[in-house]
Amino acid sequence: MFSKDIGIDLGTANVLIYVKKEGVVLNEPSVVALSSETRKILAVGSEAKEMLGRTPVKINAIKPMKEGVIADFEITEIMLSEFIKKCKAKNFINKPKILICCPSNITQVEKNAIKEAAEKAGAKKVYLEEEPKVAAIGAGLDISKPSGSMVIDIGGGTTDIAILSLGDIVISTSIKIAGNSFDNEIMKYIKNKYKLLIGERTAEEIKLKIGTVYSNKKKEKMEVRGRNIVTGLPNTITISSEEIEEALKDNIKLIIHHTKSILEQAPPELSADIIDKGIVLTGGGSLLDGIDKVLSKELDIPVYIAENPLTCVAEGTGIMLDNLDLIE
């Protein structure tokens, strides 16, 4: 069996791997658990995520990616290697060609780190592509024509906002406000209002179950358990959707502000195209209740959520793998 080319969406929250002719074969959290004494890998992906915030002294659960870039090089390399093994892409005679996505305005040093980690994880050749471009392709937008398309990719660590035309990015920005930032805001809000400490996993659960950013849309309540700061004892509170909306208000304002700024810098012809076609949302953050409505209302432009927002980038790498000759 010869090598198969693979596409990787190396995200802050999740890693998705697309194998040519097979589709998305892996979707796991970007978490690694290792022994703090021997540095031996104990678990990777979902199994390691279960351990977050619950490990004894001898075990460390680490997220090696931070805000779209590598925070811990050695661990990222091990994690990639393990994930590629899971896809059996290393068992081929030849090493695979790998296409990896990165946020749109990271530095050359950060790009080199991603490239090197993939090479060490077993790649024959590594191609880097900017996330919003790949997300747009994966969302089914035809960006090759001389017509403007706009995409907002809300991931775990970064939100990439871009306008594309003629097969490339015309203007883009990448901000460090995304899914993880939403979780942190929820943790902060509950700590300040209820004097209750909750972990990242609980915050994420709240966001997914009752989180909303659009008034009057969702009215739900949820019991939340954590540790009271004052007494130091476990405690339970009830929190509502309206409170989550309040907690995420500033983050959403910032996403709107940066989107407006990109629209203001766009050439007028492309602006006309975008009013016509609307904006496409991709990434896990686009599943936050009401985010399309609030953006549409504030920007006065139709906003649509892509069909499979979570796998858009990985699907996009798959389409680009078929056209590697255009990248080379």
Amino acid found at 35: S
- How many other CB atoms are there within 10 angstroms of residue 128's CB atom? 16
Question: What's the rounded Cα separation, in Å, for the pair 143 and 150?
Answer: 10
Question: What's the rounded Cα separation, in Å, for the pair 23 and 189?
Answer: 40
What pLDDT, on a 0 to 100 scale, did the predictor assign at position 1?
Answer: 39
Residues 71 and 213 occupy one common structural domain: no
Confidence category of residue 3, pLDDT binned at 50, 70, 90: low
What pLDDT, on a 0 to 100 scale, did the predictor assign at position 150?
Answer: 96
The number of folded domains in the chain is: 3
Domain membership of residue 129 (yes or no) is yes
Question: What's the rounded Cα separation, in Å, for the pair 241 and 216?
Answer: 9
Domain membership of residue 139 (yes or no) is no
Distance of CA 324 to the CA centre of its chain: 24
Given a cut of 60, whether residue 92 has pLDDT beyond it is: no
Residues 125 and 61 occupy one common structural domain: yes
Across 251-278, average pLDDT = 94
pLDDT by residue (tens digit) across 119-175? 888 888 899 999 999 999 999 999 989 999 999 999 999 999 999 999 899 999 999
Domain membership of residue 160 (yes or no) is yes
Residues 168 and 80 occupy one common structural domain: no
Amino acid found at 326: L
What pLDDT, on a 0 to 100 scale, did the predictor assign at position 94?
Answer: 73
Amino acid found at 238: T
pLDDT by residue (tens digit) across 162-192? 999 998 999 999 999 999 999 999 999 999 9
Residue with tokens 């995200």: 11
Confidence category of residue 117, pLDDT binned at 50, 70, 90: confident
Question: What's the rounded Cα separation, in Å, for the pair 217 and 289?
Answer: 8
Confidence category of residue 306, pLDDT binned at 50, 70, 90: very high
Residues 17 and 88 occupy one common structural domain: yes
Residues 48 and 121 occupy one common structural domain: yes
Across 92-99, average pLDDT = 78
Question: What's the rounded Cα separation, in Å, for the pair 272 and 262?
Answer: 14
Token output for 227: 């540790």
What is the CATH number for 263? 3.30.420.40
E-state strands within the chain: 6-10, 14-19, 23-29, 32-35, 41-44, 59-62, 65-66, 69-70, 97-102, 125-130, 149-154, 159-165, 168-175, 196-197, 221-228, 234-240, 279-282, 303-305
Across 225-245, average pLDDT = 95
**At 21, is the secondary structure helix, strand, or coil?**
coil
Residues 57 and 119 occupy one common structural domain: yes
What pLDDT, on a 0 to 100 scale, did the predictor assign at position 238?
Answer: 95
Given a cut of 70, whether residue 257 has pLDDT beyond it is: yes
Residues 88 and 107 occupy one common structural domain: yes
Domain membership of residue 275 (yes or no) is yes
Question: What's the rounded Cα separation, in Å, for the pair 12 and 69?
Answer: 8
Confidence category of residue 326, pLDDT binned at 50, 70, 90: low
Residues 91 and 22 occupy one common structural domain: yes
pLDDT by residue (tens digit) across 17-62? 998 888 888 999 999 999 888 888 899 999 998 888 888 889 888 8
Amino acid found at 108: Q
Residue with tokens 């700590």: 191
Residues 45 and 102 occupy one common structural domain: yes
What pLDDT, on a 0 to 100 scale, did the predictor assign at position 217?
Answer: 62
What pairs with residue 237 in β-bridges?
224
Q: In this prediction, what percent of the chain has a pLDDT beyond 70?
A: 95
What pLDDT, on a 0 to 100 scale, did the predictor assign at position 21?
Answer: 83
Token output for 10: 């190396």
What is the CATH number for 218? 3.90.640.10
> Which residues form the domain of 219?
179-247
Residues 289 and 322 occupy one common structural domain: no
